[in-house]
Chain A
């Protein structure tokens, strides 16, 4: 499902002395099936943007087209529920929102809220708990008896059980250990590939943005600063540095090497393998000097 933001503005506390524009003139088209990473400094408008994608916030100017539905500034949108079913958001620390007595009830809550029968909800719960790498036996447990990593997975299963067509991820791995982080990111990537849903990842990890995203949007001061493929975005390290943003480790080391040896690699290296082979190739050719 396609999402298209046109000239979106969002002002908080309009007509008060505290009025503040969090988004100004944001236009982003997200074609169906895209994996888009959104990066930007804390306060750049990433979170505000994200909350527009399923109608949690409405624009104060412009509109957001979500499939056939349009959320327009100043108009009451009646059918936000339909949008929220189609656009699932995994918030930061989603396990803080678990509340039911059992994992099963917690996962079923979302689908049933959207009118799915109990029987079907249970089927979806079983399916999504397996998807996130947990066994069905966990369904009968209290979510509060689980470890942090398991709780995170249960919360994610709850979003998946709503069968969203677009998955929005807000720092989904914050607080997890390195293995958990990789497992969760790989999980989202395989869901993205297998079911062809669009994925929008809000992240501080330049490594994740480089590794998983088709395209990156750089937010700055409430506007889109830049949009492009990871290799293009991360070849502008000086511009990013001005916004207080980093480049992936591979690019950092590549630039340091280029600076101190005078050498230029053929491309911006986004993975360990790319960087290793560029360095090895240059050394074999003997053109590092």
Chain B
């Protein structure tokens, strides 16, 4: 991770409880999100991570504590302004396609935001170009793959040029190719537009690509750090119902066999290179 950007979102002691539940779904959670970073929020099913996503874009409001977006508190009064800053891509590609064609779908959000027609046309074209879907302008959704639909959903968000994009398990219903397409698109948006990305996921390979991770457990922040810091927890993560990426597993299993690998490896390439180096010294 390079130099840390300015704080763009800040959570202070946020508490949320669903009606009829005894336990807080989100329990005194505080953390900051920095401009331009990719933050992965991981946790088991029911750890509170999706509730956090809904709190972050004002689909739910905290019972106590507060959320600041660019120093402005997120409340029922400010929610519409805040949503211009924070775009959200949901899990199910079929539940968020509202238009009858790809370009209508992207235009929908812009129409709602009252963008003039001329500008709307430019923005729709640009956004679909960004996600590499501009050759599908007049396609109907049922002709698209899951990955393509999610990219259109991202275009819909991008067209509104938010500073932050939240991916709420946006790749979990996709096949491996679709997942790769979406993650590539996100990576590119970060590089080209400096968008801040919050991805809520339990795909650990996806989280390993983030700049920073937050592990949620039973509604609280369990641990915050770089993927390397987090995956050093190994057994602890597994006991939280999570997993560790394959190269981390393999390097620790090799260490148990007395093979002296110096550090933790987040990618296959890193591990293989390290092994080759070790071998060349033999």
Within 8 Å by CB of B146, from A42, A147, A148, A253, lies A42
Task: Provide the bound-state CA to CA distance between A246 and B179, in Å.
Answer: 13
A263 CA to B46 CA in the complex, in Å?
45
**A279 lies within 8 A of B46 (CB):** no
A177 touches B44 (CB 8 A): yes
Mask, B128-160, CB within 8 Å of A = 1, is: 000000000000000001100000000000000
**What is the 8 Å Cβ interface bit string for chain B, positions 252-282, against chain A (1 contact, 0 not)?**
0110111100000000110110011011001
Segment among A6-14, A224-232, A280-288 that sits at the interface with chain B: A280-288
Check B279–A246 contact: CB distance below 8 A: no
Give residues of chain A (182-217) contacting chain B, Cβ–Cβ below 8 Å: 204
What is the interface size of chain A, counting residues whose CB is below 8 A from a CB of the partner? 35
Contact A147 to B250, CB < 8 A, known contacts A175-B172, A261-B279: no
Instruction: Identify the closest chain A residue to B50 (Cβ).
Output: A148
> Once the chains bind, are B243 and A178 in contact (CB under 8 Å)?
yes
State A263–B243 Cα separation when bound (angstroms).
30
Bound together, the chains give a CA A219 to CA B59 distance in angstroms of 42
> Known: A148-B45, A178-B202, A272-B249. Is A257-B272 also a contact (CB below 8 A)?
yes
- Nearest chain B residue, comparing its CB with the CB of A256: B272
A249 near B254 (CB under 8 angstroms)?
no
> What's the A-B contact tally at a CB cutoff of 8 Å?
95
Of B145, B202, B246, B279, which contacts A249 at CB under 8 A?
A: B246
Complex contact A177–B45 (CB within 8 A): yes
**B178 sits at the interface (CB 8 A):** yes
The dominant DSSP class at the A interface is: helix
Given A179-B44, A253-B271, answer yes or no on A276-B176 (Cβ-Cβ < 8 Å).
no
The minimal Cβ–Cβ distance linking A236 to chain B, given in whole angstroms, is 18
Establish whether residues A249 and B45, one from each chain, have CB atoms under 8 Å apart when the complex forms: no
Binary CB contact string for chain A from 145 to 169 against chain B (1 if under 8 A, 0 otherwise): 0011100000000000000000000
B-side residues, CB < 8 A to A, are: 43-46, 91, 145-146, 169, 172-173, 175-178, 202, 204, 238, 241-243, 246-247, 249-250, 253-254, 256-259, 268-269, 271-272, 275-276, 278-279, 282
Given contacts A178-B44, A280-B254, 5 further A-B contacts (CB under 8 A): A43-B145, A250-B246, A257-B272, A260-B276, A289-B279
Which 6 A-B residue pairs are closest in the complex by CB-CB distance? A178-B243, A179-B241, A249-B246, A280-B257, A177-B44, A177-B202
